């Protein structure tokens, strides 16, 4: 028994890069891609070493590329020193980019503010000088609990400038999560805002910090800096609390970047918590910056006049790697958006793309699926009503993108002319791992395609044996890469146990399942925890979900297993219809139609035994479907668990079924 997962979905559409796009791309054509891969295989030290010397500015050159002596605690560019903020900002002051727009900030209410690289550099320096003046130094740790803003990015950069390790906590998290993280990283500094504006409402942030700091084990925190966003009232603790504008007031516009060792922890970021207790992922300075910059350039095919919009919040790794660091080091002009995609209406993204002439748009399947649904229920907000001709490239991250959602994105948003880069990666990988190079890789909807140059992956069974094409198993990364997680903060044992269990022979275990097709393309089948076992077949939920989403009536679907005495597990599907939710009278007919559809498209084995309907899926705060809770609903018919970590707990109450 290899434990391999049976593949049930066949996707045959292929989209070759358009000749014009290919001709202008930095990595042009599959031969160029293969040449890079070969180079990295033949001479990894040369490949990564040359790249690190060319792409980064060093204060002290490194003499060694990779130290594997204490694996899996890998050390990259170990004896070199640099400063991340210098590499993101100062470099652009002397390369002709000083007056180029670095950030275009659009507030919830539509107000727009832009800053050049020169102005952003000055702002970061003033903040860094202010923070240094409060006595903070390299090695200290800061928690950032801030809304999407120029200030949040400037504060991350200011920490990097001083060698202060930051940990950004997503503004949608509760006091409890905030408290846990303040304690876990042993923070001495907290940076927050009075409130954040979302969908026309002010949501207090400072009050949550006050509450968190009233909790145990927070005595290390000496100072709370507060960015005034809403101007609303806040409680104030004299001596501890200071306004950010007072801290930077009158400080010099320049601040000498503090050189740090290559392995100095730039930040600690907790994973989304889709599968359990979040892990504090510790990232390095040099290796992390190198790979996020290079992958931003390659995967987004970054050009000097691009306007890049990554819609992720800086509270997630995507916002770190492809807003605050990698994309900034690459010198991209970026959109920073404070609000939500549905305010004032579901056309907000399209309207912003039109107004700011966005050329590269990078978002999550959850947003795409909800906007597909919105286009059906409020047709006026559909992308076809907006001029999106500025777009030249689209990207996806966070969950598997179902082929039908991919095709909608490609056609309705990209006008059929923009490549879609489906990027598979994780908080732990720091940057993209499996993703197309848009000027080279032919695209297949639903596949994240091929590993990037320098990245080696495999698909293996429980015993770590490589599986042939068409067989699903564990997705592992078999060689270290510069942006990889260095450890779980304060828990080296958990790092080794979670990511390098002995049966996988030193490979990094991702926790996701995948399979490769005859072209070597990688198809993510879902998380290892979400595999279903039906009548002796192991099935990845993603494939059944994609089949359901391909039905004209379905906007979103999640599939889980319910224990069954006969088949081992029964397939239970949760479905969000594109149009209105069917009533009790219509639901059985729709459920029957969907069962027939799955049976016809992929075979009877995948046919859902039961179907539930809802207006929305329960989602994590990062917008991922929470299958863990749906499994409980499938089993017990109701939810008994604590749902406070959900973005939308009431989604569970509105589910009805089973049919």
Task: Give residues in contact with Mg ion (CB under 5 A).
Answer: 271
Contact present, 368 and 401 (Cβ < 8 Å): yes
Rounded Cα–Cα distance for residues 514 and 531 (Å) = 11
Can you state the angle between helices 150-162 and 117-133, rounded to 10 degrees?
A: 60
- 184 versus 338: smaller Cβ distance to Mg ion: 184
513 near ligand ATP (CB under 6 A): no
Rounded Cα–Cα distance for residues 153 and 171 (Å) = 14
**What separation in angstroms does the CA of 199 have from each of 86, 203, 432, 623?**
35, 10, 31, 16
State in angstroms the smallest separation of the CB of 634 from ligand ATP: 20
423 near ligand ATP (CB under 6 A): yes
Which are the contacts of 73, defined by CB distance < 8 A and separation ≥ 6?
Answer: 486, 487, 492
Q: Using CB under 6 A, which of 400, 451, 541, 561 touches ligand ATP?
A: 400
Determine whether the annotation assigns residue 427 to a binding site. Answer: yes
Determine whether the annotation assigns residue 254 to a binding site. Answer: no
273 near ligand ATP (CB under 6 A): yes
399 binds, among ligand ATP, Mg ion, none (CB under 5 to 8 A by kind): ligand ATP
Cβ count within 10 A of residue 259: 17
Which are the contacts of 434, defined by CB distance < 8 A and separation ≥ 6?
Answer: 423, 424, 425, 448, 449, 450, 451, 452, 455, 457, 522
Rounded Cα–Cα distance for residues 227 and 164 (Å) = 19
Determine whether the annotation assigns residue 165 to a binding site. Answer: no
Q: Tell me how far apart the 2 most distant CA atoms of the chain are, in Å.
A: 73
Using CB under 6 A as the binding criterion, the count of chain residues that bind ligand ATP stands at 26
Determine whether the annotation assigns residue 643 to a binding site. Answer: no
Binding span for ligand ATP by CB under 6 A among 23-31, 274-282, 326-334, 482-490: 274-282
92 near ligand ATP (CB under 6 A): no
407 binds, among Mg ion, ligand ATP, none (CB under 5 to 8 A by kind): none
399 near ligand ATP (CB under 6 A): yes
400 binds, among ligand ATP, Mg ion, none (CB under 5 to 8 A by kind): ligand ATP
Contact present, 538 and 568 (Cβ < 8 Å): no
Binding span for ligand ATP by CB under 6 A among 334-342, 347-355, 418-426, 545-553: 418-426
Q: Using CB under 6 A, which of 116, 157, 196, 275 touches ligand ATP?
A: 275
Contact present, 620 and 646 (Cβ < 8 Å): yes
**What is the secondary structure of 577-597 as a DSSP string?**
ESSSPP-TTTHHHHHHHHHHH
Which are the contacts of 316, defined by CB distance < 8 A and separation ≥ 6?
Answer: 170, 269, 272, 427, 622
338 near ligand ATP (CB under 6 A): no
Contact present, 160 and 84 (Cβ < 8 Å): yes
Determine whether the annotation assigns residue 430 to a binding site. Answer: no
Rounded Cα–Cα distance for residues 450 and 385 (Å) = 34
397 near ligand ATP (CB under 6 A): yes
Q: How far is CA 98 from the centre of its chain?
A: 29
Rounded Cα–Cα distance for residues 148 and 352 (Å) = 16
| DSSP state, residue 347 | T
515 near ligand ATP (CB under 6 A): no
Q: Using CB under 6 A, which of 161, 527, 551, 619 touches ligand ATP?
A: 527
Q: Using CB under 6 A, which of 624, 629, 631, 658 touches ligand ATP?
A: 624
Tell me the per-residue interface mask from 426 to 465 with ligand ATP, x by CB under 6 A, - otherwise: xx--------------------x-----------------
State in angstroms the smallest separation of the CB of 425 from Mg ion: 10
- 284 versus 622: smaller Cβ distance to Mg ion: 622
Q: Using CB under 6 A, which of 450, 524, 576, 629 touches ligand ATP?
A: 524
Rounded Cα–Cα distance for residues 573 and 560 (Å) = 7
- The structure tokens listed for 195 are 């409130």
Binding span for ligand ATP by CB under 6 A among 28-36, 48-56, 83-91, 273-281: 273-281
- 288 versus 309: smaller Cβ distance to Mg ion: 288
Which are the contacts of 276, defined by CB distance < 8 A and separation ≥ 6?
Answer: none
Determine whether the annotation assigns residue 426 to a binding site. Answer: yes
- The structure tokens listed for 436 are 């197309």
State in angstroms the smallest separation of the CB of 270 from ligand ATP: 8
- 272 versus 285: smaller Cβ distance to Mg ion: 272
**Is the peptide bond between 599 and the residue preceding it cis, with omega within 30 degrees of 0?**
no
Rounded Cα–Cα distance for residues 512 and 526 (Å) = 6
Q: Which residues are annotated as a binding site for ATP?
A: 398-400, 422-427, 512, 527, 538
Q: Which residues are annotated as a binding site for Mg(2+)?
A: 549, 551, 554
Question: Which residues contribute to the site for ligand ATP (CB under 6 A)?
Answer: 271-275, 278, 316-317, 396-400, 422-424, 426-427, 448, 510-512, 524, 527, 622, 624
């Amino acid at each position: 028994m290899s434990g391999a997962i049976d593949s049930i979905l066949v996707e045959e559409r292929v989209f070759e890069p358009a000749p014009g796009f290919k001709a202008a791309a930095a990595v042009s054509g599959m031969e160029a891609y293969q040449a890079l891969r070969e180079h990295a295989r033949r001479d990894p030290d040369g490949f990564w070493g040359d790249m690190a010397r060319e792409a980064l500015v060093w204060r002290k050159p490194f003499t060694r590329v990779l130290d594997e002596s204490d694996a899996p605690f890998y050390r990259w560019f170990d004896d070199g020193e640099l400063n991340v903020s210098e590499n993101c900002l100062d470099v652009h002051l002397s390369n002709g980019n000083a007056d180029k727009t670095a950030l275009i900030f659009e507030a919830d209410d539509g107000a727009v503010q832009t800053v050049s690289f020169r102005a952003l550099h000055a702002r970061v320096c003033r903040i860094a000088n202010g923070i240094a003046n409060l006595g903070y130094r390299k090695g200290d740790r800061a928690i950032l609990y801030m809304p999407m803003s120029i200030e949040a990015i400037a504060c991350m950069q200011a920490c990097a400038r001083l060698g202060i390790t930051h940990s950004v906590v997503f503004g949608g998290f509760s006091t409890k999560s905030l408290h846990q993280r303040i304690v876990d990283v042993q923070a001495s500094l907290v940076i927050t805002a009075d409130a954040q504006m979302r969908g026309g409402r002010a949501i207090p942030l400072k009050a949550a910090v006050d509450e968190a700091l009233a909790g145990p084990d927070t005595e290390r925190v000496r100072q709370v800096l507060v960015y005034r966003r809403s101007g609303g009232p806040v409680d104030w603790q004299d001596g501890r609390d200071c306004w950010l504008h007072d801290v930077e007031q009158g400080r010099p516009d320049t601040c000498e970047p503090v050189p740090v060792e290559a392995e100095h922890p730039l930040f600690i970021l907790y994973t989304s918590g889709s599968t359990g207790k979040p892990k504090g992922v510790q990232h390095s300075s040099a290796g992390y910056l190198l790979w996020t910059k290079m992958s931003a350039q390659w995967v987004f095919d970054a050009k000097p006049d691009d306007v890049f919009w990554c819609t992720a919040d800086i509270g997630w790794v995507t916002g770190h790697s492809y807003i605050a660091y990698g994309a900034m080091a690459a010198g991209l002009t970026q959109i920073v958006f404070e609000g939500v995609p549905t305010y004032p209406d579901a056309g907000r993204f399209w309207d912003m793309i039109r107004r700011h002439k966005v050329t590269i748009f990078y978002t999550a399947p959850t947003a795409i699926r909800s906007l597909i649904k919105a286009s059906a229920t409020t047709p006026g907000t559909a992308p076809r009503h907006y001029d999106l001709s500025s777009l030249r490239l689209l990207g996806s991250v966070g969950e598997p993108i179902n082929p039908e959602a991919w095709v909608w994105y490609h056609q309705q948003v990209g006008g059929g002319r923009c490549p879609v880069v489906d990027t598979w990666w994780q908080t732990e990988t720091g940057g993209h791992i499996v993703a197309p190079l848009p000027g080279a890789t032919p695209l297949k909807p639903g596949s994240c395609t091929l590993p990037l140059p320098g990245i080696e992956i495999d698909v293996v069974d429980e015993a770590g044996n490589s599986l042939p094409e068409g067989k699903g198993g564990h997705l592992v990364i078999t060689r270290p890469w510069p942006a990889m997680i260095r450890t779980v903060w304060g828990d080296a044992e958990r790092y080794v146990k979670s990511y390098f269990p002995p049966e996988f022979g030193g490979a990094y275990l991702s926790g996701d399942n995948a399979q490769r097709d005859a072209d070597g393309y990688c198809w993510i089948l879902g998380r290892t925890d979400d595999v279903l076992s039906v009548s002796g077949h192991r099935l990845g939920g993603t494939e059944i979900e994609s089949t359901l989403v391909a039905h004209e009536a379905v906007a979103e679907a999640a599939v889980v297993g319910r224990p069954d005495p006969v088949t081992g597990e029964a397939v239970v599907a949760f479905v969000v219809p594109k149009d209105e939710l069917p009533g009790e009278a219509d639901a059985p007919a729709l459920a029957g139609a969907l069962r027939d559809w799955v049976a016809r498209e992929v075979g009877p084995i995948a046919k859902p035994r039961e179907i539930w309907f809802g207006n929305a899926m329960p989602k994590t705060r990062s917008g991922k479907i929470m299958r863990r809770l749906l499994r409980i609903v499938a089993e017990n018919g109701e939810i008994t668990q604590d749902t406070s970590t959900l973005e939308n707990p009431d989604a569970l109450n509105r589910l009805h079924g089973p049919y």
